[in-house]
Amino acid sequence: MTTTNTRNTGIADDQQFTDTVNRIARLNVRINSRTAEMDKAMQKAREPHEEKINRLTEDRDALIALAESYAVRHRARLIGLKKKSGSTELATFGFRTGKRRLELVKDNTWELVCTRLQSNGHDDCVRTVTEVQKDRVLSGLSPEEMIACGVVAAQAESFWVKAKDNAIDENN
């Protein structure tokens, strides 16, 4: 539902409104033009560096994999058994403990896990999501049926201004 503002808005008549909308359109064209110029300049500035950055990233990732493989095999000597990190002249390295997560044991499915949890009295560990299928309510129920269920279909209106293609020179 659209609400009408009856207060003085600073626009006195239809001509001032038309002029305001046309000014908005001109400003949108100028904004879009400047944004396109900026994006083009940023892309041009990135191009000479992208290939080098990609190569450096690949080299770094390969070395991380190599160092990790060695660190896993020689962890006790490199950082000790109780520590999580060590260091060199130029870097600190180590192992981070990630967030705990569940993984399925071989030949199990999440459905089977849910069944077992419930049969062992752990119903609180199984989630059952109940939610309204809004698209079906909108397409399948009459307005009277919706009201009986406690909902109504609503649509908001929003004001917009779009410049007409090729109607405005960006310098206007």
Rounded to whole angstroms, how far apart are CA atoms 1 and 153?
11
Rounded to whole angstroms, how far apart are CA atoms 148 and 109? 40
20: DSSP letter = H
* Residues whose CB is less than 8 angstroms from the CB of residue 144 and which lie 6 or more positions away in sequence, other chains included: none
Q: How far apart, in Å, do the first and last CA atoms of the chain sit?
A: 36
This prediction has a pTM of: 0.54
Asked if residues 25 and 161 have their Cβ atoms less than 8 Å apart, the reply is yes
Q: What is the pLDDT along the chain (172 residues), one digit of tens a residue?
A: 445 555 667 999 999 999 999 999 999 999 999 999 999 999 999 999 999 999 999 999 999 999 999 999 999 999 988 899 999 999 999 999 889 899 999 999 999 999 999 999 999 999 988 899 999 999 999 999 999 999 999 999 888 888 887 767 766 5
Domain spans in the chain, listed from the N-terminal domain onward: 13-94, 102-154
